[in-house]
Each structure stands twice: as structure tokens, then as C-alpha cells.
Amino acid sequence: MVLDRLKQVAQHVTGATPSPHPFDPLSAAEIEKAVALVNKEHGPLYYNAVTVLEPRKAEMLAWLTDPIHTNRPHRVADVVAIRKGGTVYDGLVDLDEDKILKWESNEGVQPLITMEDLQIVEHLVRKDPKVIEQCALSGIPKEDMHKVYCDPWTIGFDERFGNKVRLQQALMYYRPHVDDSQYSYPLDFTPIFNCDTQEIIHIDIPPVRRPLNQAPPNNYHPAAIEAEGGYRKDLKPINITQPGGVSFNINGRIVEWQNWKVHVGFNYREGIVLNNISYNDKGNERGIFYRLSLAEMVVPYGNPEHPHHRKHAFDLGEYGGGYMTNSLALGCDCKGAIHYMDASFVNRAGASQIIKNAICIHEEDAGILFKHTDFRDDSVIVTRGRKLLISHVFTAANYEYCVYWIFHLDGTVQLEIKLTGILNTYAMKPGEDTHGWGTEVYPGVNAHNHQHLFCMRVDPNIDGPENTVFQVDAKAGPGEVGSAKNKYGNAFYAHRTKFATARESMSDYDGSSSRTWEMANTNKINPYSHKPVSYKLVSREVPALLPKEGGLVWKRAGFARHAVHVTRYQDDQIHPAGRHVPQTSGEPSQGLPEWIAKHGDESIDNTDIVLWHTFGITHFPSPEDYPVMPAEPMTLLLRPRNFFLKNPALDVPPSYSLTPSQIAAKKGAVSNVDKASRAV
């Protein structure tokens, strides 16, 4: 609307803070405003989350298309709060009109466990007489209770307790010294904590007891390394510098880099959210993705003994990838020229709090981008690649997840995740058999088999919101060897299967057929290849969900049953395991299965769709992963196919180029070789 434009002009003139972009996370001030409005009407409350409600897509697309003549979408806070006694409220607050749009109480629902929720438990566990008794049985005298630690987890789901009462399970550990890694001293019992009454309501005690581990500490801190011979001294520094500055521009939270344009959001659940990703194709700004995020994950552990089935953390839905985000340090987590963004959240009391340097944005050299030498005369071109990384790192109790969204010069978007941190461990008694459910990674320390399964949510916008998904399999051509149509047996082709409905789209990975999935705009045909413009999902780390059909994990983590699901776009379908994940029974299964049960026969052909991709690794621990795990990377690509008319990076200045005519003329080579390099 003109009004909005006038407001912006006025801000420009008066020097006031510009309006936030509708995709921006709530600022600290907006969070506090939302809390004030809610508190006035409904307080006192414990705040679980106050986050931006992203604008409804229809409204947002209208505004993005014509911001001058369209109403700017209102800033709306999505509020989750808990009243003493346990009632959970979901609310919406319009921050432009200072108005509570929605305020609903919910039964049988538990919102995620915040860092503050986690921090409370250990303190109380140490004082609980029954816990003290169990510690004594394990061999820990009561005067050593300050050496007892716990990693509080959501309970997942336990049918004995249901979902009416908000619970945590305390995975118990011991530290001989405050600096010792507790994961070498797991205890064998599991207290259950009521978050509302702040009491231990039960302790799960295994039938076979395992006393406190007697092995010496297994540490990774400097004192331990020094005691074992010290640090290696022969690693010489590698300096990475950009004396001319970086190659990206940032306007608010919109990053522009090498024809790419992307809005970098962040929320407490998903962490980084990338919106409105476009590529400037020779002056034509073409939409590619409306939204990309890691939307959910589940880490099922494979030991069937009670109560390990409860270990299947939904780290995003049950704890929050944003809430658990590290404050990054320059020259540690990232090297080079770094731009950081902070993150603002609400705390339990309703105040805002900030994680400094939550998001890291930087460039890296990416090796050879393309090269070709003509064998006749050694005429050559060699051009180096570059990538832009938008990353955050979050700590989920023992594990860390490093998430890198990477933009490439060739139009590819890559998601790389590195797993590091510490294995979840359980106690073993001397000589105990793991029965294959885990590995003894250190004497007395059993690290259970587990999977890390991530669900990436892709809202494609391939030259517009009307898209269609095809499964593509490499297949041998028809005709037996010797037949006229396939005499030598070499025929093969890309077999394309269009997904007409969400139900049809539930598909698994097939490595042998090099299976990929194409998000295409069938209304727009590449004039050269006569194929629809598309982006292809190339993902090769796609294990099957190992927990069995009908079992607890299978029921709760419906998104993980298949590598790909495609649904018709709906504004509130963001969380594939549901809005509130802790203590869901999986009956019925929330999120994707629920949506597909309702809408699974609607057409998803040539309409606004969302692709959900579950990928990850199966982790059988070994001693090399311990006491702290070297980063294990996994990656996937979203690659342009028939989207561009040619390699879009041809105009990246070559390091060196020499043509046949220049060779003949003995002059004219183009050389931009890196002057900082040295031969040694």
C-alpha cells in the first residue's frame, strides 16, 4: 500500500529504524512487546516460545510482487506459554495492531523443552533421596552428589505417564573431577522428572545393575592431552584473508552474492530459515525456493532394552535447533572474513535474550570450478570456484550439529551437516555383552547404535510457485542384448515418474538407480532441451528408518518412513512431526502422516507444493568416535537441471585462459593467477 511506502519514506527522512522485513525474526523489542500484551491479558505465564509467525504465503507473495501497492504483512508473534499447573497456551499477537488474535489452551500437549527447563533438573536430581539412594547403590557416597550430573531429555513418550504431565528423563552421569568427561561414567538408572511440580516422580531401574565405572577418565581437555605427551607442534598456520573485502552485500537480513539473493531468517525450532531464494539470470530475477529449512530430525537408538526405546530425540521439535545454537567465535568455528548475525529469543520469564553470533556468513574458495585443456595444443581454461556458507552450530546435550547451507557459483545449493560432540553412552558392567546393540568404546562405556535422520523442508518456487515433482531413475533401455533396438545392450535412459498425489509421492531411496527427485515447473520449458525447468535433489546418504513399522519411533516420526513426501502447500504445515512434539504417542501420528491421511489424494501436479526429504546416517559407534567425535560430514545437493540455458558461471573470471589463436600468435593469454600462492 501507498501507506507502507510513505512510512518507509518517513523513516528514511526521520532516521527511524526501518520496518523489519516480513520474514525477519522477531527483534528483542518485538518479543517483549508480545509478552507485555499477553501478560496484561493472561499472565503470569512461563514463556516457551515467542517467534515470528511467517506471513501467510498468498499475502506475502502479493507484497513481494508489488510492495508499493500492497499492504505490508503485519508482524505477528506466535506465542507458546505454560501456566503453573501445566496448561499450555498457543497464541497469536498482532504487533502492528497491538492485538491478541488468538489465545487457546490445549490439552494433552507438551511444547518443547527449553534450555532453562533443562537447566533446572540436575540441581533437583542431586537432592532427591531416591536418586541419592540409587547413586549409593552404584557406588557414589552421598557426600559426592555434587559429582553427579544428568543430561535431561524429554521423555519422548512413555505409555505409563502419557502426555498430561510435562516430563523429562534424566540420563545420569558422574564426574570424578569437575573437568572430567561424564560420558565415561554413565549411571544405569533413569529418574523421571515432573516439570510442573519439579519432583522426581519415578526412577527406571534396570533388572541387572551396573556399578559405577572404575576406568580412569578419558578426557580431551588440554591438561589431559599435556599429561599424555602434549600437543603436536608441527601444524603450521593456514591464513585465509580477503584484503579487498567480501563479495557479498547484506541489506537487513537479505544477502546478495554472485547473482543469488536470499533472506536469512532464524527461529527457535529450525535454526536457519532461508526464504525467497532467487537467482539473477542475466537481469531476470528468477525464483528458486520460497523457503528452505531443516524442519525436524530424529535420532533413534537401537537398543531394545527398557528404557532405551525412549532415546529417540527429535532435536528440533523437542528442544529447538535455534534455542540450542552456539554463540560462534571468530577464527575458531569459521576462518576468514566473517559476517555474524545474532538471534533473539524469549526466556521463561518473558524477557528477551540474545545469542550473539548465532549465524555465520562467509565465503570459501571451492577449488576448480571448471577446466578444459585441448589435447592438441594445450589451449586451456581454468576457473576457480567459490562458495557462500550460511551456518550455525547447535549442541544437543552430548552431540553437536554443524549446519552449513552452501551456495555455489553454478546454481547449486548444498546442505552439509557435520556431526561432532560426544556419543550418548550407557553403563556396562565388566564382561557384559553388548548383544550387538552398541559398542564398548572405552572400558565400561557402551555407545548404542543410532541413526541421525534429518528432515529438510523444501518449498520450491522454480520460476513460480506452481511446481511438480518427478522421481527420476536410471534404467536400462528395452530390448534384449542382440535385439535390433538394443543390439549391444548399452541403452539406458532417465525414467521419470510424476507424483500426482501426496500418497503417490511417498518414496524411498534407490542407490542402484541413482534415484533423484526433480522439482520442476512444467509450464516453463528449457528452449534448448525442451524439458521443464527444474531443480534436482541429489542426496546419497538416505538410510531406511530402522525402527519397525508400528513401533514407537515409526509412529512418532512419520516423516522418517520415506525419503521423500510431497504435500500441497498449506501455511501451517511447517513441522513434519507436529507443532508440539514431546510426549506425542504417535497415535495418531502427527504432521506428515496426518496431513497425507487428510489430503493425500489431492492433486500435487502443477500447484504449490512442499517436498520433505529425510536423509542422514546410521551410526555404529567405534572407539575412534570417543571421547569426542571427529566431525562426520553428510551432504546433499539441489542442482539446477534444464533451469539455465548454459553453465551460469561462465562469466566468473578465469584464473588462466589461452585459446588456439593466442597460442599461434604467442600472445593474448588471460591470466588472473592467485598471487598469494607459493611453490614449496
Residues in contact with Co ion by CB under 5 A are 619
CB of 408 or CB of 619, closer to Co ion: 619
Q: Is residue 234 involved in binding a second copy (CB under 8 A)?
A: yes
C-beta atoms surrounding 149 within 10 Å: 19
Element (H, E) at 419: strand 413-421
Q: Give min distance, CB of 395 to Co ion, in A.
A: 14
CB of 317 or CB of 421, closer to a second copy: 421
Q: Give min distance, CB of 601 to a second copy, in A.
A: 27
Q: Is residue 193 involved in binding a second copy (CB under 8 A)?
A: no
Among residue numbers 311 through 340, which ones bind a second copy (CB under 8 A)? Answer: 312, 324, 326, 329-340
Strands 260-267 and 271-281: antiparallel
* Region binding a second copy by CB under 8 A among candidate stretches 269-277, 287-295, 565-573, 616-624: 616-624
CB 543 within 8 A of CB 302: no
Q: Give min distance, CB of 543 to a second copy, in A.
A: 4
Selected from 227, 550, 572, 667, the binder of a second copy by CB under 8 A is: 550
Strands 450-460 and 438-442: unpaired
Sign of the four-CA dihedral 156, 161, 167, 168: negative
CB of 63 or CB of 626, closer to Co ion: 626
CB of 2 or CB of 680, closer to a second copy: 680
Q: Which does 665 bind (CB under 5 to 8 A by kind): Co ion, a second copy, none?
A: none
Q: Is residue 231 involved in binding a second copy (CB under 8 A)?
A: yes
Cα–Cα distances in angstroms (integers) from residue 425 to residues 181, 363, 428, 650, in the given order: 11, 37, 9, 51
Selected from 255, 359, 409, 456, the binder of a second copy by CB under 8 A is: 409
CB of 10 or CB of 650, closer to a second copy: 650
Cell numbers placing 115: 534450555
Q: Give min distance, CB of 419 to Co ion, in A.
A: 6
The residues carrying an active-site annotation are: 315, 399
Selected from 15, 85, 207, 653, the binder of a second copy by CB under 8 A is: 653
Taking the C-alpha atoms of residue 273 and residue 336, their distance in angstroms, rounded to an integer, is: 23
Q: Give min distance, CB of 313 to a second copy, in A.
A: 13
Taking the C-alpha atoms of residue 595 and residue 600, their distance in angstroms, rounded to an integer, is: 7
Cα–Cα distances in angstroms (integers) from residue 218 to residues 228, 421, 632, in the given order: 11, 14, 21
| Residue among 445, 427, 444, 448 at smallest CA distance from 436 | 448
Cell numbers placing 84: 503453573
Q: Is residue 490 involved in binding a second copy (CB under 8 A)?
A: yes
CB of 27 or CB of 655, closer to a second copy: 655
Q: Which does 286 bind (CB under 5 to 8 A by kind): Co ion, a second copy, none?
A: none
SS3 assignment for 429-462:
CCCCCCCCCEEEEECCEEEECEEEEEEEEEEECC
Q: Which does 431 bind (CB under 5 to 8 A by kind): a second copy, Co ion, none?
A: none
Q: Which does 179 bind (CB under 5 to 8 A by kind): a second copy, Co ion, none?
A: a second copy
| C-alpha 659: how far from chain center | 45
Taking the C-alpha atoms of residue 36 and residue 20, their distance in angstroms, rounded to an integer, is: 20
Q: Which does 590 bind (CB under 5 to 8 A by kind): Co ion, a second copy, none?
A: none
| Residue among 540, 272, 528, 573 at smallest CA distance from 407 | 272
CB of 95 or CB of 294, closer to Co ion: 294
Taking the C-alpha atoms of residue 404 and residue 169, their distance in angstroms, rounded to an integer, is: 31
Q: Is residue 227 involved in binding a second copy (CB under 8 A)?
A: no
Selected from 137, 254, 381, 525, the binder of a second copy by CB under 8 A is: 381
C-beta atoms surrounding 511 within 10 Å: 8
Contacts of 509 (CB under 8 A, 6+ apart): 515, 539, 542, 544, 563
CB of 395 or CB of 606, closer to a second copy: 395
Query: What is the size of the binding site for a second copy (CB under 8 A)?
Result: 188
Q: x/- binding map, residues 440-479, to a second copy, per CB under 8 A? A: xxxx-----x-x--------------------x-xxxx-x
Selected from 205, 254, 494, 500, the binder of a second copy by CB under 8 A is: 494
CB 211 within 8 A of CB 138: yes
Q: Which does 542 bind (CB under 5 to 8 A by kind): a second copy, Co ion, none?
A: a second copy
Q: Is residue 513 involved in binding a second copy (CB under 8 A)?
A: yes
Selected from 65, 241, 572, 667, the binder of a second copy by CB under 8 A is: 241
Q: Which does 466 bind (CB under 5 to 8 A by kind): a second copy, Co ion, none?
A: none
Cα–Cα distances in angstroms (integers) from residue 588 to residues 406, 556, 562, in the given order: 36, 9, 17
DSSP H helices, 499-607, are: 502-505, 552-556, 592-599
C-beta atoms surrounding 660 within 10 Å: 12
Taking the C-alpha atoms of residue 261 and residue 240, their distance in angstroms, rounded to an integer, is: 25
Taking the C-alpha atoms of residue 120 and residue 132, their distance in angstroms, rounded to an integer, is: 17
Amino acid occupying residue 197: T
* Region binding a second copy by CB under 8 A among candidate stretches 6-14, 135-143, 589-597, 618-626: 618-626
Element (H, E) at 569: none
Q: Is residue 665 involved in binding a second copy (CB under 8 A)?
A: no
Q: x/- binding map, residues 107-146, to a second copy, per CB under 8 A? A: --------x--xx--x------------------------
* Region binding a second copy by CB under 8 A among candidate stretches 16-24, 72-80, 597-605, 613-621: 613-621
Among residue numbers 63 through 102, which ones bind a second copy (CB under 8 A)? Answer: none
